[in-house]
Structure 1
Amino acid sequence: MTVGVGGSDFATELAGIRNQRDAVPPIGVEEHARRVERAQARMRELGIAALWLDGTTNLAWLTGLKHGQSERPVGAILPAQGPLSYLCPAFEVERLRTMLLLPGDVRGWEEDEDPYALFTEMLREADVAGGTVALDDMARVFVAEGMRGALPNHRFVASGPVTSHLRERKTEQEVAILRQAMGMTLQIHAAAARALQPGVTTTEVGEFLAAAHRRAGFDSGPAFSIVLFGEPTAYPHGVPYPQTLAEGDVVLIDVGAPLHGYVSDITRSYVFGTPTPRQREIWNLAKRAQAAGFAAAKPGAPCAAIDDACRGEVVKAGMGPGYKVPGLPHRTGHGIGMDVHEAPYFVGGNQQPLAVGNTGSIEPTIAIYGEFGIRLEDHIVITERGADWLTPPARSVDDPFGLEGRA
């Protein structure tokens, strides 16, 4: 029997979950103010006169305002010089003021008025009568088109060279929050594994994961939850029907939740029972592939090097090549932060150099349709020395959570 898998139940394991929310502090006002300063310096470096932040993660990361998007434009204008200002429907002005971490003028447009005319007026008041305006690259098309139509004499670019550039390079505090969130989710993974019994359904496991993340102190339940047993583990994003656990099944659980706005994301694959030689072979191959990706993750190396290294191990084992199945059907990894998938992406052909502060997943997924799949997902941070794991990788197919030898 795989060590740490089975032998308990969901009620017992849920009762053992402790709230760890306060183990690390959230991002404060001072850090958001520093982010604004860094964004403005970057804008001046690139010749960008103003930045529009829609109600997206970019707005939340930069200013701390978590509003979300709707059919009405809501967001902030950041000029390269000068203070922030906020735009929203007039009936939302007072509410928005209560939500601000960083001060700024809040301007509202009435329901029968043109929000893009107000946007134009606010730019003029910020002394941005012309030049280049960066539009939030997560903004909806109708907002971007409305702003372009209102300002035909301005040049528009995507915000990525400012927003993504800065968000990709995590500070020590951001890394600390991510490390804590990942560790909490890994503990929940281990609890879920202990609670497994024959006849348990994937739906029951999902309900446990949701309750456990809330009990542990995350901002909410899981941002996503993939629970698979047996042959469906071969499908990277799961199947639309529940499964029931049987002896000898491969179990794959991929789950994460936000802590202080930063999302965890851990996948563990293991066997309920005793691994067969075939299951052992493929699990060990995924482990070797993940280790090869980690070894390739060095500052200055292209993002593609991580994918190339992982995929190389799988091709050497006679699978693939490329994205063919049996083999690795998708990229090796993605950046992580306030979005579970964000730049940089660890995929073939991506020549963007890895930078100190980059965080992201190494998650080689070996899919064998008709049999099973194995995914081992942990996250790294790039340091000046190389890569550091944010959580310890799975130890072995017989002891995935590293329980043997513990005092």
Structure 2
Amino acid sequence: MTGTPTAFTAGDYEARMRRAAEAATAAGLDGLLVAPGPDLVWLTGYRPVETERLTLLVLRAGQDPVLVVPTLEAPDAAAAAPTLTLRDWTDGKDPYEATASLVDAGGRFGVSDNGWALHLLGLQKRLPDSRYVALTDALPMLRAVKDAAELERLAAAGEAADATYEEIRKVPFGGRRETDVAADIADLLRQFGHSQVDFTIVASGPNGANPHHEAGDRVIERGDMVVLDFGGLKHGYGSDTSRTVHVGEPDAEEREVHDVVRAAQEAGVAAVRPGAACQDVDRAARAVVAEAGYGDRFIHRTGHGIGVTTHEPPYMIEGEEQPLVPGMCFSVEPGIYLPGRFGVRIEDIVTVTEEGGWRLNTTSREMAIVD
């Protein structure tokens, strides 16, 4: 995919806000309170600076959305979200007074997960009988099902991550620090169109046994297994892919572990189909790892949703019975981690279609040999 996708329209955002407000009512809520962060971006297209000053979108079914915003940020808010009604407040005034009349004194509201405790406690103090629930608990699938325009953006981000992997395989690994390779990955992600790089995991040798290892000063050696996991945002939507490469020829055990993870990843993707539960994907991947004798070395969930952030619902984990529906996008990323030795992880972003799972990452999952 090339070019820039068509921008979302005011009508697109209005439809999302209306759908969210209706979903809140169906969930027994009196409305939603949305702070700056991914939910606000998805609902309105507005991405304000996140500071101690209160910014809050109030959504209620049958009422116009209202954005409470600091006066000094009102011009930017009006330009980014021209259909919103703004209620501004100035420094030195009580922002919760500006909000209180929009919220029922005894109402129950969903609050976006990344809202500041400072603001929620301030609102509770103003309205002590009001009640609040985390948005992920109340409406976990609010952003989970992507429309065609969102899938286009996710596919573009996936293609850019794939292009990055193909190029990073060509650079020297041995004798360089993990941070050097991580910097190369970040540069490539930007070169292929990412506006934001969120993470560049380069975990060599024993560091690979830590799933979230931060690239450090360890010098990569010949004979190392190296876990690569990277992603960010392109056109506002996320990429996230993992491959495990080897510096020079691997030994038999390293090949075996990599083959097990690759088979587990294939099984997880094969389990993706409409009507299956999220936990079915986890079970399918985990069964392969357990059968090979490494069950206690697969120490994280099999996957997470992705969209305007790289981690969001749904989650592929035991106990999550949410059924898969077409348009959901999530990672499938089993791993095996052997402390003090090495780790292996393979990850693709997969979207649910009527026929099953469609990978948004298409690079080879065979072990790549690098210099």
Same fold (TM over 0.5): yes
Aligned to 1:369: 339
For 1:161 and 1:32, the matched residues in 2 are separated by 23
Per-residue CA deviation, residues 334-390 of structure 1 (Å, 9 max, x unaligned), is 111111111111112222222222111111111011221111010111122221111
The 8 Å contact of residues 178 and 215 in structure 2, kept in 1 or not, is answered as: no
Secondary structure of 2:141's partner? helix
Deviation, 1:164, is 3.6
CA shift in 2, pair 1:101/1:21, >3 Å: farther
CA distance in 2, matches of 1:218, 1:398: 24
Structure 1 unmatched runs, 5+:
1-19, 401-407
Counterparts of 1:221-232 in structure 2 under 5 Å?
Answer: 222-232=197-207
- Give per-residue Cα distances to partners, 1:304-330, cap 9 Å, x unaligned: 11111111111111123xxx3xx2011
The 8 Å contact of residues 63 and 102 in structure 1, kept in 2 or not, is answered as no
Contact 1:228 1:243 in 2 (8 A): no
| Equivalent in 191, 196, 211 of residue 167 of structure 2 | 191
Inter-partner Cα distance in structure 1 for 2:127 and 2:205: 56
Q: 1:159 to 1:370 in 2, by over 3 A?
A: closer
Q: CA deviation at 1:131?
A: 3.9
> Following the alignment from structure 2 to structure 1, what is the Cα–Cα distance between the partners of residues 212 and 28?
41
Runs of at least 5 residues in structure 2 that lack an aligned partner in the other structure: none
Cα deviation code 1:245-270 (max 9, x no counterpart): 33222122111120121110011102
Structure 1 segment 150-229 matched on structure 2, within 5 A: 150-160=126-136, 164-220=140-196, 222-229=197-204
Give yes or no for the alignment of 1:45 onto 2:30.
no
Q: Distance in 1 between matches of 2:40 and 2:138?
A: 12
Give 1:39 deviation, angstroms: 1.6
Distance, in Å, in 2 between the alignment partners of 1:249 and 1:68 is 42
CA distance, structure 1, for counterparts of residue 36 and residue 214 of structure 2: 32
TM-score by length of 1: 0.84
Cα–Cα, structure 1 residues 240 and 226, in superposed 2: closer, same or farther, change >3 Å?
closer
Distance 1:305 1:105 in 2: 44
Q: Which residue of structure 2 lines up, in the alignment, with residue 340 of structure 1?
A: 310
Q: Select 2:275's aligned residue among 300, 318, 333.
A: 300
Q: How is 1:3-402 mapped onto 2 (pairs within 5 angstroms)?
A: 22-98=3-79, 100-123=80-103, 131-160=107-136, 164-220=140-196, 222-238=197-213, 241-320=216-295, 324=296, 327-392=297-362, 394-397=364-367
Contact 2:350 / 2:360 at 8 angstroms: preserved in 1? yes
Superimposed CA distance per residue, residues 143-163 of structure 1 (whole angstroms, 9 cap, x where no aligned partner): 222222322344433333665
AA partner of residue 332 (structure 2): I
Matched letter for residue 81 of structure 1: G
Range with bigger deviation, 153-162 or 268-277: 153-162
SS of residue paired to 2:323: coil
Distance 2:25 2:171 in 1: 55
Structure 2 residue identity aligned to 1:31: D
How much is the aligned-residue C-alpha RMSD, in angstroms?
A: 2.2
Percentage identity across aligned positions? 31
Query: What amino acid sits opposite 1:195 in the alignment?
Result: V
Question: Structure 1 CA distance, aligned partners of 2:335 and 2:260?
Answer: 10
Q: Residues 30 and 211 (structure 1 numbering): CA distance in 2 closer, same or farther, change over 3 Å?
A: same
Q: Which moved more, 1:133-142 or 1:341-350?
A: 133-142
